[in-house]
Amino acid sequence: MSDLNNFTSARIQKLVGVILISCLMVLFLTGFDMIRSKIRDIKRRADINIIIKALDSYHDKYGSYPEAIDDWQGWDLSISHNGGQIDFIDQLKKEAFVDREIKDPVNNFAYHYRYTKFRAGDYGCQNSFYILQVANFELATENNGRGECPELNWKELAPNGYTAQGFD
């Protein structure tokens, strides 16, 4: 009978060990996914800052911001919808305002960058302007940028994203 108790005790110890290791692995993988999401969000913020600087340099050289080609409902998207046309990021790269391809780390319909340019008077804004957005961050964010006209708050289009606005 003593051998049976030792055998059962050894099995229980092994089972507890396997359960403990499994729980630790789940915690590690969950934390790892959160870290990866945070890293992608940091890249998104860095990319937007690079694009804003490039747009400002473009404006300094040409006196206006690049036109949008209307990939999707008036927006240039970092995901391919343009049938091979040069979008605003390609234009900035072609003219050496950026030195690499810039796209969202996930770059799908939920997570992408988008840009469009409006004429003076659109949505009540006096000057022509651009809107640049990160469609979404993976983690909740407090800093949603800025972008507003009298008739539309652009941040509402990307409530967990980022909006930048520049005026001609």
In a domain, 109, yes or no: yes
Q: Which two tokens stand for residue 28?
A: 């590690």
8 A C-beta contact, residue 78 and residue 89: yes
Q: How many structural domains compose the chain?
A: 1
In tens, the pLDDT along 15-53 reads: 888 888 887 777 776 777 888 999 999 999 999 999 999
In tens, the pLDDT along 120-130 reads: 999 999 999 99
Which residues make Cβ contacts (< 8 Å) with residue 105, sequence separation at least 6? 40, 43, 44, 111
In a domain, 9, yes or no: no
Band (160; pLDDT cuts 50, 70, 90) = very high
In a domain, 25, yes or no: no
Which residues make Cβ contacts (< 8 Å) with residue 102, sequence separation at least 6? 47, 50, 51, 78, 89, 93, 113
* Enclosing domain of residue 124: 44-167
In a domain, 27, yes or no: no
Residue 76 sits at φ, ψ, to 5 deg, of -85, 130
Give the pLDDT of residue 81: 58
Residue 167 sits at φ, ψ, to 5 deg, of -110, 140
Torsion of CA 39, 44, 46, 49, to 10 degrees: -160
Give the pLDDT of residue 163: 96
The strand pair at 148-149 and 129-134 is best described as unpaired
Give the pLDDT of residue 25: 79
Between residues 137 and 67, which one has the greater pLDDT?
Answer: 137
In a domain, 3, yes or no: no
Of 93, 70, 36, the C-alpha closest to 102 is: 93
C-alpha distance from residue 26 to each of 37, 74, 85, 143, 145 (Å): 17, 43, 45, 31, 35
**Single pTM value for the model:** 0.81
In a domain, 37, yes or no: no
In a domain, 156, yes or no: yes
In a domain, 151, yes or no: yes
In tens, the pLDDT along 59-112 reads: 999 999 998 877 678 888 888 655 556 678 888 998 999 998 899 999 998 999
